Amino acid sequence: MNPIFSLEGKIALITGGGSGIGNAIAKCMIAAGGTVVITGRRETPLQEAVAELGERAHYVVNDVTDLSQLEALVEHIETTIGSIDVLVNNAGINMKKPALEVSDEDFHRIIHTNLSAVFSLTRACAKRMVARQSGSILMISSMAAYYGIDRVVAYGASKSGVEGMVQVLTSEFSKFNVRVNAIAPGFIETAMMKTAMSSDPDRMNKALDRTPMGYFGKPEDIGWAAVYLSSDAAKYVTGVSLPVDGGNSIGF
């Protein structure tokens, strides 16, 4: 691999890295020479994931919604493993319900995981990155922030919030050499996508019909984009939201 795309010597914290897209990001980052720390709520899947990822992978059990623990999480990683060069805010949850049936508790739960926790963890990491004048923060957005998808009001609002955060943080952190970007995955084959689609063939066909490439993405497609955006090859790239979607965002 051209060293400009290498992540050798870099440590990435990937939330929700035990499964799906987060796990693929971890795999691709390790293949690019990086060291990863994955987090999640349950120890067993994290242990299994780390066993498969190999010696440059570490895990810490952490629930991102416990905001008061995020500062300690970052402190723990930085003292036991090393400085976090790359933060990937991947952990996320979805809920499919008509807007009129979404309770305040439902709405809050999605926003809390997908937006409030992303901010708190980003602040904890960015504080240190700003002091070191180096770092890359990556958000995982969604097509739900790009166009109207029915029955995901809280999810769409949370991902639109994440897109807004990319812009504001870019305007604040760029002078400290800390980059902030998002990847907006199209429809990617993971447990989350299967849950949303399996009982709803109309939705599945609609998603496929407006994907010009004609097939759903694989988690690795997001993983390689994450490698690029975290590498020195992207050192002048900040404030962008990169669709990795087989053309879905501009599909007819």
> Which residues form the catalytic set?
155
Residues 152 to 211: which contact ligand NAI by CB under 6 A? 185, 187-188, 190-193
Contact mark string toward ligand NAI, 69..98, x via CB under 6 A: ---------------------xxxx-----
Coil, strand or helix at 207:
helix
Helical segments of 36-138, H only: 43-53, 70-80, 104-111, 117-132
CA-CA-CA-CA dihedral for 4, 220, 86, 17, to nearest 10: -150
CA distance 235 to 98: 41
Of the candidate residues 7, 10, 15, 248, the single one contacting ligand NAI (CB under 6 A):
15
DSSP 75-86: HHHHHHT----E
Of the candidate residues 14, 20, 154, 238, the single one contacting ligand NAI (CB under 6 A):
20
Give 18 or 135: the residue with its C-beta nearer to ligand NAI. 18
Contact region with ligand NAI (CB under 6 A), list: 27-35, 57-65, 70-78, 103-111 = 57-65
Q: Least Å distance between CB 85 and ligand NAI?
A: 21
Give 22 or 251: the residue with its C-beta nearer to ligand NAI. 22
Sheet bearing 57-61, strands edge to edge: 57-61, 35-40, 11-15, 86-89, 135-140, 178-185, 241-244
Report how many residues bind ligand NAI under the rule CB under 6 A: 27
Q: Does 41 bind ligand NAI (CB under 6 A)?
A: yes
- CA distance readout (Å), 235 to 50, 129, 135, 230, 238: 29, 15, 10, 8, 8
Give 2 or 68: the residue with its C-beta nearer to ligand NAI. 68
Give 33 or 45: the residue with its C-beta nearer to ligand NAI. 45
Contact mark string toward ligand NAI, 117..146, x via CB under 6 A: -----------------------x-x----
Residues 6 or more apart whose Cβ sits within 8 Å of residue 42: 18, 61
Q: Does 148 bind ligand NAI (CB under 6 A)?
A: no
Q: Least Å distance between CB 4 and ligand NAI?
A: 27
Q: Are 73 and 62 in contact (CB under 8 A)?
A: yes
Give 63 or 78: the residue with its C-beta nearer to ligand NAI. 63
Q: Which amino acid is at 111?
A: I
Give 60 or 130: the residue with its C-beta nearer to ligand NAI. 60
CA distance 95 to 153: 9
Q: Are 180 and 197 in contact (CB under 8 A)?
A: no
Contact region with ligand NAI (CB under 6 A), list: 14-22, 26-34, 166-174, 231-239 = 14-22
For residue 206, give the DSSP letter: H
Residues within the interface to ligand NAI (CB under 6 A): 15-16, 18-22, 39-41, 63-65, 90-93, 113, 140, 142, 185, 187-188, 190-193
